Amino acid sequence: MNGYIVAQQVINGLVLGAIYGLIAVGYTMVYGIMGMINFAHGEIYMVSAYLAAIFLALLTGAGLHAPPILLVAILLLTILFTALYGWSVERVAYRPLRDASRLAPLISAIGISLVLQNYVRISQGARNQGIPTLIEGHLRWASADGSAFVQVTHVQILIMVVAVLGMGALAWVMRFTSLGRACRATQQDRIMAELLGINTDHVISTVFVMGAAMAAVAGLLVTLNYGSFDFFIGFVIGIKAFTAAVLGGIGSLPGAMLGGVVLGLCESLFSGFVNTDYKDVFAFGILILVLVLRPSGFLGHPEVEKV
């Protein structure tokens, strides 16, 4: 086992973890504010991958070819439209059922996820879609004889940088803005917050929108990184991101990122040095172990559960 391979596996794990973390944010924020898992979140991510590809086609068709401008434009458009989907999910699946039993919105969210999957399948086809490579190149650190090297592609660097920036921005919003204060107040006690003049409906909508925006960032980056997607990509990664959120302590923003990175690293190192067949078994084993030893996850606050 040489150092280059270990370093490469760590990079693989970090990139995977950053993606899990970005998507996990959506689960953790919705849970934080409503105490519910948004099972349509994986599909929001899937929709964002399609939106990114559609905007790419539209913008290049309109004659925009300079990569940095193109990327920023696609990013903004994708965030905007994906956020719209996130907002609609809350309006359709959650708000009408706000006073129903806890099970009802959970099930309506699963319904929404099926609707989104099939809506994309019917409108875009069940086939694999590919997009051209927009960002080329990589950094390499090679050994003296050049036989072994560690590399990180520019897309992978972009993924990690954007993940850190995105999480930082979100953490800043939650801590220092009035919107963040309103979110935290709603999280602590929705009825009390409402009595004190906070429009909690508005706050909840905003949380869905922010979660969807982060999923949109992930959708665009992942599409750039892997070059292909289909209508079913939301399922597996949704489960993984949900796991990451639970691992880090559901309801905690830094926890989601930490959980993502831990999950990514576990998968990558186990796959690289033990066995790929059982990497998911190992990852979920870790999850069970953490939940047994520390039921609230790495960074979660132990509190009396409402479930």
- The residues that touch another protein, with contacts defined as CB under 8 A, are 1-2, 5, 8-9, 12-13, 15-16, 19, 100, 121, 125-133, 138, 149, 151, 153, 222, 226-230, 232-233, 235-237, 267-269, 271-273, 275-277, 279-280
- What's the rounded Cα separation, in Å, for the pair 19 and 164? 11
Give the whole-angstrom CA distance, residue 17 versus residue 241.
Answer: 9
Q: Kindly tell me which of 4 and 87 has the beta carbon lying closer to another protein.
A: 4
Using alpha carbons, select from 77, 42, 8, 24 the residue that is nearest to residue 263: 24
Integer Cα distance of 133 and 273 in angstroms: 30
Q: How far is the CB of 119 from another protein (least distance, A)?
A: 13
What span, in angstroms and rounded, lies between the C-alpha atoms of 257 and 200?
26
Least CB distance from residue 206 to another protein, whole Å? 27
Report, in Å, the least distance between residue 272 CB and another protein. 5
Residue 307: partners with Cβ closer than 8 Å, 6 or more residues away: 35, 102
Nearer to another protein, 126 or 289 (CB): 126
Nearest to another protein of 78, 206 (CB atom): 78
CB of 16 to another protein, least distance (A): 5
- In the bound state with another protein, the residue whose beta carbon lies nearer, of 44 and 182, is 44
Report how far apart, in Å, the C-alpha atoms of 191 and of each of 97, 103, 196, 197 are.
16, 20, 9, 10
Residue 298 CA to residue 307 CA, distance in Å, equals 20
Residue 107 Cβ vs another protein, minimum distance, rounded to whole Å: 11
Q: How far is the CB of 92 from another protein (least distance, A)?
A: 14
- Please check whether residue 186 is in contact with residue 198, taking contact to mean a CB–CB distance below 8 angstroms: yes
Q: Quick check: 264 and 157 in contact, CB under 8 A?
A: no
- Looking at the Cβ atoms of 147 and 178, the one nearer to another protein is 147
Minimum CB distance to another protein smaller for 209 or for 269: 269
